[in-house]
Amino acid sequence: MQYKNFGRTGIRVSAIGFGSWQAGMNAWGKDYSVEDVRNAIRTAYDLGVTIFDTAEVYGNGLSEKILGEELRNREAFIATKLAGYNSRDPEKSIERSYRNIGRTIDLYQVHWVPSMYTNLDKLMKRLEGYVRKGKINHLGLSNFPLKFLKMAQDALSREEIVSLQIQYSILHREAELDLLDYCRESLIEIIAWSPLARGALTGKYFGKKMPPSISRYQEMYNRKHRISPELESYLKSTSDRYHIPISAIALRYVANMGMIPIPGSKNPAQASMNSSVFDYDVPDEIYTEIERLSRKYRDKGYKNLVPRVIPNFMFKLVAGKLL
What is the residue-level pLDDT of the chain in tens, covering all 323 positions? 999 999 999 999 999 999 999 988 887 788 899 999 999 999 999 999 999 999 999 998 999 999 999 999 899 999 999 987 788 789 999 999 999 999 999 999 999 888 777 889 999 999 999 998 889 999 999 999 999 999 999 999 999 999 999 999 999 999 999 999 999 999 999 999 999 998 889 877 676 666 655 554 555 445 567 889 999 999 999 999 999 999 999 999 999 999 999 999 999 999 999 999 999 999 999 999 999 999 999 876 666 666 666 666 666 666 665 56
Instruction: Give the Cα separation of 52 and 44 in Å (integer).
Output: 10
Are 297 and 275 within 8 A, CB to CB? Answer: no
Q: Could you tell me whether strands 12-14 and 3-5 are parallel, antiparallel, or unpaired per DSSP bridges?
A: antiparallel
Residue range 142-166, pLDDT digits in tens: 999 999 999 999 999 999 999 999 9
Three-class SS state of 236: helix
Point out which residues pair with 169 in neighbouring strands. Answer: 172
Q: What beta strand segments (E) does 56-116 contain?
A: 77-82, 105-110
Q: What beta strand segments (E) does 155-252 contain?
A: 161-167, 189-193
We report the CATH number of the domain holding residue 119 as 3.20.20.100
Per the structure, the complete domain to which residue 211 belongs is given by 3-322
Three-class SS state of 162: strand
pLDDT at 221: 44
pLDDT at 280: 94
CA torsion sign, 273 to 274 to 278 to 281?
positive
The structure's pTM equals 0.91
DSSP run (H or E) holding 100: helix 90-101
Instruction: Give the Cα separation of 266 and 249 in Å (integer).
Output: 20
Crossing angle (nearest 10°) for helices 120-132 and 90-101: 40
Integer CA distances (angstroms), 279 to 10, 47, 170, 233, in order = 25, 11, 20, 23
Closest CA to 179 of 155, 147, 210: 147
Q: Which residues contact 220 (CB under 8 A, 6 or more apart)?
A: 209, 210, 212
Percent of the chain with pLDDT over 70: 86
Residue range 188-217, pLDDT digits in tens: 999 999 999 988 898 776 766 666 555 545
How many structural domains are present in the chain?
1
**CA 17 and chain centroid, separation:** 9
Instruction: Give the Cα separation of 259 and 175 in Å (integer).
Output: 11
pLDDT at 220: 46
Neighbours of 156 (CB within 10 A): 16
Burial of residue 44 (number of CB atoms within 10 Å: 0-12, 13-18, 19+): buried
